[in-house]
């Protein structure tokens, strides 16, 4: 079963407007990133409980906490980041989700992140250890400039950390935007697929730096990805992150009309591939 979720902060920074959009669009899940302009990890536990009450009243669940954990230099002090992760774990529990999205650090100034495998694995391993004894996992997302910018590096991380508390999130457009890989579902997906438990959907055209495309209109092989999901009998979240009005390092914008069109495309892909969805 495909459970369609959304980065609804792309439609509006105001959480009540996000909730209203999701209800109108018939989307039952939110991937929480920004709430009233604040990153989810900055909320207090009391504020997270209030958000959970609002979402419960609207019949909306949380697919994942879309944290920025791991989006900082690998040689920066780790203690504050570890404390932020511990707080994020508590927030995930309050919000009723079993997944926290994470990244794998930028290289040191003047250095190459590909040379930092051991340091990255050590830090992600310490994060994974924080999840032992919980039902929460962290899903590492491939993205440009971090260690996990390539499929091979993502697999190296999973193998190096070697914890059932760490899994992979697959974003096909990030391979197009960051690595200029137009055949990512053919070249990257086979390496990562067995470890992927979360999928983001945005599309991107080679050479574009600012704007995403309607899913299926870019070079990220969205249609092929849904075929692979059907072949695998994928059971999990597919989260829309269209970036169709703007996109950047920490988020993006998509108008309600654009999001409606992207949502219709995703539902259409599910139907053509024989995937049940909600």
CATH code of the domain covering residue 231: 3.20.20.150
Residue 139 lies in a domain: yes
- 250 pLDDT more than 80: no
Q: Indicate the average pLDDT of the chain.
A: 96
* Number of domains into which the chain is organized: 1
| Structural domain containing residue 86 | 2-272
Residue 153 lies in a domain: yes
pLDDT: is 84 or 253 the higher one?
A: 84
Residue 55 lies in a domain: yes
Percent of the chain clearing pLDDT 90 (strictly above): 93
Residue 278 lies in a domain: no
With cut-offs at 50, 70 and 90, classify the pLDDT of residue 139.
very high
pTM: 0.96
187 burial (CB, 10 Å; 0-12 / 13-18 / 19+) is: middle
pLDDT at position 247 is 64
Q: Are 156 and 120 in contact (CB under 8 A)?
A: no
With cut-offs at 50, 70 and 90, classify the pLDDT of residue 195.
very high
Mean pLDDT, residues 18-42 taken together: 97
pLDDT: is 143 or 251 the higher one?
A: 143
Residue 67 lies in a domain: yes
Residue 94 lies in a domain: yes
Report how far apart, in Å, the C-alpha atoms of 67 and of each of 87, 138, 221, 222, 232 are. Answer: 11, 10, 26, 24, 27
Residue 215 lies in a domain: yes
Residue 277 lies in a domain: no
- 67 pLDDT more than 90: yes
pLDDT at position 1 is 94
């Amino acid at each position: 079963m495909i459970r369609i979720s959304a980065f609804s902060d792309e439609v509006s920074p105001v959480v009540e407007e996000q909730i209203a959009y999701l209800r109108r669009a018939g989307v039952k899940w939110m991937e929480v990133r920004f709430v009233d302009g604040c990153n989810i990890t900055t909320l207090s536990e009391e504020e997270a409980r209030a958000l959970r009450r609002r979402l419960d009243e609207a019949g909306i669940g949380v697919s994942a906490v879309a944290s920025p954990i791991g989006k900082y230099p690998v040689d920066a002090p780790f203690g504050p980041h570890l404390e932020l992760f511990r707080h994020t774990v508590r927030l995930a529990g309050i919000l009723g989700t079993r997944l926290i999205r994470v990244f794998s650090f930028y290289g040191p100034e003047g250095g190459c992140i590909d040379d930092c495998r051991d340091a990255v694995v050590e830090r992600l391993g310490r994060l994974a250890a924080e999840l032992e004894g919980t039902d929460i996992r962290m899903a590492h997302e491939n993205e440009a400039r971090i260690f996990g910018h390539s499929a091979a590096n993502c697999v190296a991380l999973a193998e190096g950390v070697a914890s059932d508390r760490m899994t992979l999130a697959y974003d096909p457009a990030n391979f197009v935007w960051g690595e200029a890989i137009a055949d990512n579902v053919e070249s990257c997906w086979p390496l990562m697929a067995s470890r992927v438990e979360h999928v983001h959907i945005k599309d991107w055209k080679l050479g574009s730096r600012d704007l995403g495309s309607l899913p299926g209109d870019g070079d990220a092989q969205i249609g092929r990805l849904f075929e692979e999901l059907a072949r695998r009998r994928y059971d999990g979240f597919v989260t829309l992150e269209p970036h169709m009005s703007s996109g950047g390092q920490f988020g993006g914008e998509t108008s309600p009309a654009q999001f409606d069109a992207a949502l219709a495309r995703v539902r259409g892909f599910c139907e053509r591939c024989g995937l049940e969805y909600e």
